[in-house]
């Protein structure tokens, strides 16, 4: 859902839910909302903060800025992005949960939010009860495995042979995000062995 359609849905959701929400957008992707947010007859009537749990220039950040710019045009109020990075987006999510529940603090997050209840013991919130999906934004259609252009490994079998012999280290934007979990599944295959190196500000594409 994009452009004016997203704007219309946000307005309709606010009108129909009453005491039911604060908003989060997820890459892969949907908009969520806090369940105790107060309703408003004319939403929005002042600027809306869009919290992104990933670094500036990352995939979720770029999408959030694109969607925010369109929502600003469609709804006549500024939607501005604030990056609250770290812990696979959970810091940004917590900031939204703790914000005033009036629908004017929005979280835009990757699909890495989905496994967080099973990875982190003390999130400080419950994604199943504190947040509600509002709208779909986009779908990640696949993953790429890339190496440095100067690397001697040009094919997947060559890389697997290297990883099996010497162990490879790969970067991820946080423990438990989709890229990390996909790589972990790959590393569990008997033909490969990889170790992750979480990088807080790694650009997620």
* pTM exceeds 0.85 for this model: no
pLDDT in tens, the chain (205 residues): 444 555 555 555 544 443 333 444 444 555 565 666 555 568 899 999 999 988 999 888 998 999 999 999 999 999 999 999 988 889 999 999 999 888 899 889 887 888 889 888 888 899 888 987 777 787 766 777 888 889 898 988 888 888 888 877 877 766 777 778 888 888 877 555 565 555 544 444 4
Give phi and psi for 150, each to the nearest 5.
-85, 0
**Residue 105 · residue 51 · CB < 8 Å:** yes
- Smallest CA-to-CA distance from 111 within 53, 203, 28 is with 28
- Smallest CA-to-CA distance from 30 within 4, 60, 54 is with 60
**Hey, what domains does the chain have and what are their CATH numbers?**
3-136 (3.40.190.150), 143-205 (3.40.190.10)
């Amino acid at each position: 859902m994009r452009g004016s359609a997203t704007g219309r849905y946000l307005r309709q959701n606010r009108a129909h839910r009453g005491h039911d929400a604060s908003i989060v957008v997820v890459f892969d992707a949907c908009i969520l909302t806090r369940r105790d947010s107060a309703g408003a007859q004319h939403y929005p009537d002042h600027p809306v903060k869009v919290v992104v749990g990933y670094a500036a220039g990352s995939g979720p950040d770029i999408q959030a800025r694109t969607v925010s710019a369109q929502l600003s045009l469609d709804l006549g109020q500024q939607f501005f992005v604030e990056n609250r990075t770290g812990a696979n987006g959970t810091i940004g999510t917590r900031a939204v949960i703790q914000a005033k529940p009036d629908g004017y603090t929005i979280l835009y997050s990757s699909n890495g939010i989905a496994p967080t209840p099973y990875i982190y013991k003390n999130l400080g919130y419950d994604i199943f009860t504190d947040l509600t999906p509002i709208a779909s934004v986009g779908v990640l259609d696949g993953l790429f495995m890339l190496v440095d252009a100067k690397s001697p490994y040009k094919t997947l079998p060559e890389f697997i042979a290297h990883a099996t012999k010497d162990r490879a280290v790969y970067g991820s934007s946080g423990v438990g995000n989709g890229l990390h979990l996909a790589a972990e599944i790959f590393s569990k295959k008997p033909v490969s062995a990889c170790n992750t190196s979480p990088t807080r500000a790694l650009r997620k594409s």
